[in-house]
């Protein structure tokens, strides 16, 4: 029986069960019809991996979140969509980062031309013109774009029974849970580091959209992620009442080789000098636009080097395939998805983090990506400074003159950075401890700020003052000592 014939037979079943649709997926596997990123993905994996592939799909169809490692998440979300469509549902596939949809053109072509499924694609940039994309059987939309569309039209989900399948759920449901609007414009995104069931100060504010409330409007929410930490699993399960199941097995150690500097200027000066001395190509991860502009400015004078800004899959592929006499420095913003590992060639490069990621699950992904794809056997190198946003929770108002005097003395005398690494580890331990004690629903962590207004600035300053009050006050352990002289001491 052909794939089309099987599909037509399945459409005749009034209430589709998971066990009834799994054989159809197996037929797609056998036929080699599943084509992701314009290559036959299934020819790249062995029978054991195909079994994992089907097992992961089943977890999604049951309405759960599954940790799938390096499997292609959007492709799997599109496959899972077939089951929900057969049960009369519309599916919104929500992904965390900007993708190139032509990567999945072959699969989408099969859906449209052979299976007769209508597909709507929402471009990443908002348009003033209304379209009918959200009326289609399957809607492909980036997470923040969906939030903007939903905030403007709360009836989007009510059009018909709808299932949301979300890729990289940790980067969406956890990292970007709260959305702050001003006059219908998105101004900031925030995460809740941990919930303590406190009454939220922002709960009744109309201009704050909590995705926890939005998720309740869907018939079902399920999804995938490459990997997920225990902390994030706990928060997603508690907040969204969705089970998280693990198929992939990774080392969840988030530690990195880290260097600390007094200021961002000093940090970027040293990073640029290190990059100039490096013989191999370099991949540098940044988070803020300020970080990007600082890097571009520092690399202007580098000779025999090419700087490539990586905005999408094709740019990353170009970086990994570039050869020649000139050293290539790739600049990429944000966390790299592990599903890229299956499709790009390996290349030995130096891997640098110019800014600390907001959450440790990002660091774990960097380590896995660098080891499996970039041939990096040592830990990626992280550069931080005392005035980095992620460090201010601990370093604001503190006196670090003594440890940095020691750093300068040792580096001048012995030309080694071991003391800088030691101090960096001590600072990061205290930052992580502070977060676990003080960040909760009433102290959300801003992950993105688009148009900083006076109101947002005041909120951030107020939270920083509150945090400094905690640091200057008595330690939470009950010792009677000040925090900075007890658990806050380096």
pLDDT tens track for 82-140: 999 999 999 999 988 755 555 677 778 888 888 899 999 886 655 555 678 899 999 99
pLDDT on residue 77? 92
Span 257-390 CATH architecture:
3-Layer(aba) Sandwich (3.40)
List beta partners, residue 36.
39
pLDDT on residue 118? 93
**pLDDT (mean) for 403-427:** 88
Rg of the chain taking only CA atoms, in angstroms: 24
Contact call for residues 269 and 298 (beta carbons, < 8 A): yes
pLDDT on residue 37? 43
**pLDDT (mean) for 143-148:** 93
Name the fold adopted by 3-246. Answer: Rossmann fold (3.40.50)
Establish whether domains 3-246 and 257-390 are of one fold: yes
pLDDT on residue 117? 92
pLDDT tens digits for range 4-35: 788 889 988 888 899 999 888 887 776 655 54
Greatest mean pLDDT among 11-15, 333-337, 342-346 lies in 11-15
**pLDDT (mean) for 33-38:** 47
pLDDT band at 319 (very low <50, low <70, confident <90, very high): confident
Residue 458 pLDDT greater than 70, yes or no: no
CA separation, residue 13 to residues 24, 54, 83 (Å): 13, 22, 12
Residue 342 pLDDT greater than 50, yes or no: yes
pLDDT tens digits for range 191-245: 988 888 766 666 667 788 999 999 999 999 999 998 889 999 999 999 999 999 9
- Of 284-293, 341-350, 383-392, 446-455, the poorest mean pLDDT is in 446-455
The residue extents of the domains of the chain are: 3-246, 257-390
Nearest to 20 by CA among 87, 93, 74: 87
pLDDT on residue 39? 41
Neighbour count for residue 313 (Cβ, 10 Å): 19
pLDDT on residue 378? 67
- Of 129-138, 234-243, 320-329, 374-383, the poorest mean pLDDT is in 374-383
pLDDT on residue 469? 56
376/365 Cα distance (integer angstroms): 13
């Amino acid at each position: 029986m052909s794939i089309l014939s099987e599909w037509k037979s399945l459409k005749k079943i009034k209430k589709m069960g998971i066990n009834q649709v799994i054989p159809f997926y197996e037929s797609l596997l056998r036929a080699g019809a599943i084509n992701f990123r314009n290559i036959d993905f299934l020819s790249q994996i062995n029978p054991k991996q195909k079994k994992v592939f089907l097992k992961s799909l089943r977890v999604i169809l049951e309405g759960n979140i599954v940790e799938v490692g390096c499997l292609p998440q959007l492709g799997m979300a599109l496959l899972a969509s077939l089951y929900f469509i057969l049960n009369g549902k519309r599916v919104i596939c929500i992904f965390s980062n900007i993708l190139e949809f032509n990567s999945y053109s072959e699969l989408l072509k099969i859906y449209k031309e052979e299976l007769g499924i209508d597909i709507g694609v929402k471009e990443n940039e908002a348009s003033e013109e209304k379209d009918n994309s959200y009326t289609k059987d399957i809607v492909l939309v980036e997470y923040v774009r969906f939030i903007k569309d939903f905030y403007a039209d709360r009836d989007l989900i009510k059009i018909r029974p709808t299932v949301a399948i979300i890729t990289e759920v940790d980067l969406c449901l956890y990292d970007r849970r709260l959305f702050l609007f001003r006059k219908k414009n998105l101004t900031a995104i925030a995460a809740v580091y941990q919930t303590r069931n406190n009454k939220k100060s922002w709960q009744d504010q109309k201009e704050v959209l909590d995705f926890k409330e939005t998720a309740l409007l869907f018939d079902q929410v399920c999804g995938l992620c490459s990997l997920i930490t225990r902390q994030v699993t706990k928060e997603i399960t508690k907040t969204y009442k969705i089970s998280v199941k693990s198929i992939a097995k990774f080392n969840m150690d988030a530690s990195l080789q880290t260097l600390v500097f007094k200021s961002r200027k000093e940090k970027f000066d040293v990073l640029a000098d290190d990059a100039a001395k490096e013989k191999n190509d370099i991949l540098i991860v940044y988070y803020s636009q300020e970080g990007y502009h600082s890097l571009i400015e520092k690399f202007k004078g580098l000779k025999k080097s090419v700087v490539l800004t990586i905005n999408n899959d094709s740019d990353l592929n170009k970086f990994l395939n570039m050869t020649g006499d000139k050293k290539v420095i790739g600049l990429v913003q944000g966390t790299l998805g592990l599903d890229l590992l299956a499709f790009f060639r390996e290349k030995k490069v130096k891997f640098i983090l110019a800014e600390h990621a907001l959450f440790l699950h990002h660091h774990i992904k960097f380590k896995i990506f660098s080891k499996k794809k970039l041939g990096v056997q040592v830990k990626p190198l992280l550069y931080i400074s005392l005035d980095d946003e992620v460090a201010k929770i601990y370093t604001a108002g503190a006196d670090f003159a003594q440890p940095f005097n020691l750093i300068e003395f040792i580096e001048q005398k012995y030309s080694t950075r071991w003391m800088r690494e030691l101090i960096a580890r001590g600072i990061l331990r205290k930052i992580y401890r502070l977060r676990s004690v003080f960040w909760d629903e009433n102290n959300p962590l801003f992950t993105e700020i688009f148009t900083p207004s006076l109101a947002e600035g005041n909120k951030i300053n107020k939270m920083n003052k509150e945090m400094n009050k905690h640091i200057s006050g008595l330690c939470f352990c009950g010792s009677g000592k000040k925090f900075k002289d007890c658990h806050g001491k380096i």
